[in-house]
Chains A and B, each alone.
Chain A
Amino acid sequence: MGTQPNRNDPESGQAHVLELDPELPPPAVDDAVREAEERRWTPGKIALWAVVSLLGAVAWFMVALVRGETVNAVWFVFAAVCTYLIGYRFYSRVIERYLLKPDDRRATPAEYKADGKDYVRTDRNVLFGHHFAAIAGAGPLVGPIIAAQMGYLPGTIWIIIGVVLAGAVQDYLVMFFSMRRGGRSLGQMAREELGVIGGTAALVATLLIMIIIVAILALVVVNALGESPWGVFSVGMTIPIALFMGVYLRFIRPGKVMEVSIIGFVLLMAAIIGGGMVAGTPWGASFFHLDKTTIAWGIIVYGFIAAILPVWLLLAPRDYLSTFMKIGVIVMLAVAIIVVRPEITVPAFSEFAGRENGPVFSGALFPFLFVTIACGALSGFHALISSGTTPKLVEKERQTRFIGYGGMLMESFVAIMALVAAISIDRGIYFAMNAPIALTGGTVETAAQWVNSLGLSGVNLAPADLAQTAQNVGEPSIVSRSGGAPTLAVGLAHIMQQFIGGTAMMAFWYHFAIMFEALFILTAVDAGTRVARFMLQDSIGNFIPKFKEASWRPGAWLCTAIMVGAWGAVLLMGVTDPLGGINTLFPLFGIANQLLAAIALAVCMAIAAKQGSFKFLWIVGVPLAFAAVVTITASFHKIFSPVPAVGYFANNAAFAKALADGKTSFGTAKTEAAMEAVVRNTMVQGVLSVVFVVLSIIVIITAILATLKAFRDGGGRNHEDAPRPSRVFAPSGLFPTAAERELAAAWAKVPAAKRLDRPGHH
């Protein structure tokens, strides 16, 4: 098997030839052997996939078509898992075979740039977990819950079908293209492939989108902690715990990551239990009882300090804690749902599915459902993670399908479980928790009265139900706890208490859920602020070179202040919004996230076109077209809709007119100051929507132009790193195939001294 011709380089017209070491076994399974293996259908294989398909079909039938009184949650799990398996086995393989064409004879950056620090070959299963922990956070836990307003079916279909055809495709493509480019970031790839205009628009859009995403994630935390002494205490304690862990790792026991994580976890549990005791005392209840504005300011100040402190002190230890919790929580949730198998009484389509003035989020099912659920179905933010860290750790090219595509399927599964948790609670309680206080009135009596006035079928909510639930979860009240996190926490507590501990444990499980959501979000806020600050420093650095120096304190602090100020302003706007911040701002979060997805897919389309893969360009084109249509339509609704509940400018005009008419209260704003706030907020939100959509359209147009040019020329410039021969072998999927096992055995016989990689840059 000496040498293998590689794909032609369209620029030079020369064929790259990989000179493989003849003394070593081949670094890849022979193509013909692999293909024969992939195409051979043994009776066992046929039976397996027949069972998977049949079970999936039955599950979808139970979830989507059978209209009984209730549907068991376990069918959601089967429908999801069977669809993922089929998507992974068949569709991702189509992408691999016809569009990406990975070549295991080529060394990955982890091999040819190996430095033992950033570029390290990592076992595929470990990297799968690592990548999953980096992409999954609070997003898939929040969006599906807010979207449950429309009933369970639209969200379920979008999460499962969306991930197979769009979300996982995006993650896989971005990871693969970044890997072929030595781990370059999305911004760098956009600049290379789309030129100065497209690249700059992509960079500015990414920066603005990050600000919005961080702001709204912070808003979710504020809403979960507002007027909750227990929550404030236990989440507040994460800061000293993380500081302690940081100091421990730096000075006392360097490198003992597992040890410190376990200590941190124990302290965290103590903080949750302690929070209940503290909130039970009169002084604790009054001292930690903070209103939302105070908490928002707290998070802003915290965000600034956290972003300028060294990483080892706060960010890194909290990241360990967050990863530790993430894996534990998700396994726990999956086991609990399968063991408890809650019955779902929520209708497939709710009364709000056909309307655009829902109390939880406003806007019609199309397009707003598709932006409300972003993480779990299609999340542009992943493109920032999939380019960068993970591609520098991948051991073999073919593993990107398992890690990129498979990792995103896993996140989608988390979203399905969150949806199940949200719809397993009573529908009346769901609406009382998620509607803004302007509608519920804030007390159990007014909230119950309002919910009953909605005329929802099968809903008859008594004030005592709300009071009882609040008491069970150890909160003063659960009315208008919008933002998704408290609802998930109630749902999770509801499921977990049937599994472990009973009603007496509900308060613990509720605060456990709030704690991990806050932990994920605060980590994302810190990291997001830092990344955004560096992007800003880099951009300003093009004009004032001094700003590019990361160690120059005044520049770093100024850029941090600008970024924190920007997301802080949006956060305060959401907290003080008389219309209820989540209701108006959450769609903006989804739009921002999916515009980023459209940008990432546009870059991928240009790259694929330049490779000359026109026949299979639809693999990128379909999700790109869908994301573009959804987000641009949603943006246009937000900008041009004459309905004040939907259109920012329509709302702005309505309130401005009311002020001009001398009214002192209008709609949900009870004072003149509140009315002025609405006028200001809607203007800012409207302008942001316009800027986002314009920038994204520029990026998409430049990508289409690059694609058309490539089509005319039959290809384009290849920006990949030059191929180098690989000197290692590892299987590509979770389970090694027979041929892979055979080859791995041959490699195991090679003496260690010969197997060693020889990085080229030393």
Chain B
Amino acid sequence: MEPLTEPVAETLRRGLRGFAAYFRGVMGADAYRKYLEHHEACGHPVAPMTEKQFWRDRMDRQDSDPQGRCC
């Protein structure tokens, strides 16, 4: 049994990490990372917003553009 433990633990860890990444995506926790990727891809001359600025901007824009939530 001993040699099996390592790969099983590894698979399990990978599975859990995958699930956590998926869950983060659904919650929208990775929004800033995606923004940075986009910013870099476009090659904007200006520096990207900092994480704090980004989340502030994101929340404040929702104030004027609310999204419905269903029943």
Query: Hey, which bits of chain A sit against chain B, CB under 8 A?
Result: 114-118, 120, 122-123, 125-126, 129-130, 133-139, 213, 217, 249-250, 254-258, 261, 310-312, 315-316, 319-320, 322-324, 327, 375, 379, 381-382, 384-385, 388-389, 521, 523-524, 526-528, 530-531, 534, 550-551, 593, 756-759, 762
Question: Which of chain A's residues has its CB closest to B24's CB?
Answer: A258
Q: Is the CB of B27 within 8 A of A323?
A: yes
Give Cα A327–Cα B25 distance, bound, in whole angstroms: 13
Give Cα A593–Cα B70 distance, bound, in whole angstroms: 11
Could you list 30 examples of A-B contacts with CB < 8 Å? Answer: A114-B42, A116-B38, A117-B57, A118-B61, A120-B34, A120-B35, A126-B22, A126-B26, A130-B26, A133-B26, A134-B68, A139-B70, A139-B71, A249-B55, A250-B56, A254-B56, A257-B29, A320-B27, A375-B70, A381-B68, A384-B68, A384-B70, A385-B70, A521-B71, A524-B69, A524-B70, A527-B69, A534-B66, A756-B42, A762-B44
The residues of A that contact B14 with a CB separation of less than 8 Å are: none
Minimum distance in angstroms from B55 CB to a CB of chain A? 5
Question: Which of chain A's residues has its CB closest to B43's CB?
Answer: A756
Per the 8 Å Cβ criterion, residues 4-61 of B in contact with A are: 20, 22-29, 31-32, 34-39, 41-42, 44, 51-52, 54-61
Question: Which of chain B's residues has its CB closest to A256's CB?
Answer: B29
Q: Is the CB of B70 within 8 A of A550?
A: no
Q: Is the CB of B56 within 8 A of A379?
A: no
Q: Is the CB of A375 within 8 A of B71?
A: yes
Q: Is the CB of B70 within 8 A of A135?
A: yes
Question: Which of chain B's residues has its CB closest to A526's CB?
Answer: B69
Q: How many residues on chain B are close to A (CB under 8 Å)?
A: 40
Q: Give chain A's interface secondary structure class.
A: helix
Question: Which of chain B's residues has its CB closest to A309's CB?
Answer: B63
Q: Is the CB of A310 within 8 A of B60?
A: yes
The residues of A that contact B20 with a CB separation of less than 8 Å are: 258
The residues of A that contact B29 with a CB separation of less than 8 Å are: 255-258
Question: Which of chain A's residues has its CB closest to B20's CB?
Answer: A258
Q: Is the CB of A382 within 8 A of B70?
A: yes
Q: Is the CB of B54 within 8 A of A255?
A: yes
Q: Is the CB of A137 within 8 A of B22?
A: no
A-B Cβ contacts below 8 A, count? 140
The residues of B that contact A531 with a CB separation of less than 8 Å are: 66-68
The residues of B that contact A534 with a CB separation of less than 8 Å are: 65-66
Q: Give chain B's interface secondary structure class.
A: helix
Minimum distance in angstroms from B20 CB to a CB of chain A? 8
Question: Which of chain A's residues has its CB closest to B39's CB?
Answer: A116
The residues of A that contact B25 with a CB separation of less than 8 Å are: 122-123, 126, 129-130
Q: Is the CB of A117 within 8 A of B69?
A: no
Q: Is the CB of B71 within 8 A of A311?
A: no
Give Cα A379–Cα B69 distance, bound, in whole angstroms: 13
Q: Is the CB of A255 within 8 A of B27?
A: no
Question: Which of chain A's residues has its CB closest to B36's CB?
Answer: A116
The residues of B that contact A320 with a CB separation of less than 8 Å are: 27
| Residue among B20, B27, B61, B62 with the highest chain A CB neighbour number at 10 A | B27
| Residue among A213, A255, A531 with the highest chain B CB neighbour number at 10 A | A255
Q: Is the CB of B63 within 8 A of A550?
A: yes
Q: Is the CB of B28 within 8 A of A130?
A: yes
Contact (A114, B38) CB under 8 Å given A255-B51, A258-B29, A381-B71: yes
A-B pairs with lowest CB-CB distance, top 5 = A116-B38, A126-B25, A139-B71, A257-B29, A312-B59
Contact (A117, B61) CB under 8 Å given A255-B52, A756-B41, A759-B42: yes
Question: Which of chain B's residues has its CB closest to A136's CB?
Answer: B70
Give Cα A327–Cα B24 distance, bound, in whole angstroms: 12
Minimum distance in angstroms from B23 CB to a CB of chain A? 7
Q: Is the CB of A254 within 8 A of B24?
A: no
Give Cα A118–Cα B28 distance, bound, in whole angstroms: 12
Give Cα A230–Cα B28 distance, bound, in whole angstroms: 32
| Residue among B52, B56, B67 with the highest chain A CB neighbour number at 10 A | B67
Q: Is the CB of A381 within 8 A of B70?
A: yes
Minimum distance in angstroms from B67 CB to a CB of chain A? 5
Contact (A120, B26) CB under 8 Å given A135-B70, A139-B70, A311-B66: no
Q: A116-B37, A130-B26, A759-B42 are in contact. List 19 more A-B contacts (CB 8 A).
A: A114-B42, A117-B35, A118-B61, A125-B22, A134-B68, A137-B71, A217-B71, A254-B55, A255-B32, A258-B29, A311-B60, A311-B63, A323-B26, A381-B70, A388-B68, A527-B66, A527-B69, A528-B69, A531-B68
Contact (A379, B22) CB under 8 Å given A116-B34, A257-B27: no
Minimum distance in angstroms from B25 CB to a CB of chain A? 3
Contact (A258, B71) CB under 8 Å given A117-B35, A310-B60, A312-B60: no
Q: Is the CB of B59 within 8 A of A310?
A: yes
The residues of A that contact B60 with a CB separation of less than 8 Å are: 310-312
Minimum distance in angstroms from B69 CB to a CB of chain A? 4
The residues of B that contact A759 with a CB separation of less than 8 Å are: 42
Give Cα A258–Cα B20 distance, bound, in whole angstroms: 9
The residues of B that contact A255 with a CB separation of less than 8 Å are: 29, 31-32, 51-52, 54-55
Minimum distance in angstroms from B66 CB to a CB of chain A? 4
